[in-house]
Amino acid sequence: MARGKTTAKAARRKARKLKGRIAAKKKKEFLYRGKSLEELQAMSLDEFMGLLSARARRSVSRGMVNKNPRFFRHLERGDEVIRTHSRELVILPHMISKTIAIYDGRAFKEVPVTIEMVGHLVGEFSPTRKTVKHTGVGVGATRSSKYMPLK
C-alpha cells in the first residue's frame, strides 16, 4: 500500500475516534416510574402513593406525616439540615435537594437527598454497622492465637 493512503477499515476507525471525542455523553435524566422530578413534585401525596412500592405505600398511608410532625415542620420551614432518629421515613419528592442528618446509633450522618432516593427509606443511606477491618495475626486475641509458624 502506498504511503498516505488509508484502508476503509482504518478510515472507519478514525471516524469512530473523532465521533467519540466530539459527542460528549449527556447525563440521562432520571425518571421515577416514568415521571420526571417536576411531575413528581406537582403530584399530590395520594397520587404519588400510587407509584410507590407496597411497603412504602403502606407506611405513608398509615400516617407517616402524623407520626413525625416535627420532622415535617422543619421540612416545610426550609431548614438547611433536618436531624432525625426516625430511619423508617420514606423519601418523598418534596424532600429532594434537602439535607437530612440521620442518626445511626452513634452520630448523625448528613445525607443530601437526590431524586434517585425517592421511594427508599431514610435509614438505607446511613448504615448502622462498620465493616470489620482485621489487622495482623493475634492482635488483641488470646495468647495461643499469637503463634505464627515460621516460614
Nearest C-alpha neighbor of 98 from the set 126, 61, 71: 71
Residues 47-80 have pLDDT tens digits of: 999 999 999 999 999 988 788 889 999 999 988 8
Residues 88-123 have pLDDT tens digits of: 999 999 999 999 999 999 999 999 999 999 999 999
In this structure, what CATH number is given to the domain that contains residue 57? Answer: 3.30.860.10
Measured CA to CA in angstroms, residue 12 lies from 3, 22, 51, 58, 147 at distances of 18, 15, 46, 56, 64
Per-residue model confidence (pLDDT) at position 68: 87
Report how many domains make up the chain: 1
Report if residue 23 sits inside a domain: no
Q: Is the pLDDT of residue 146 over 90?
A: no
- The reply to whether the predicted model has a pTM over 0.75 is no
Domain of 121, in residue numbers? 37-125
Report if residue 45 sits inside a domain: yes
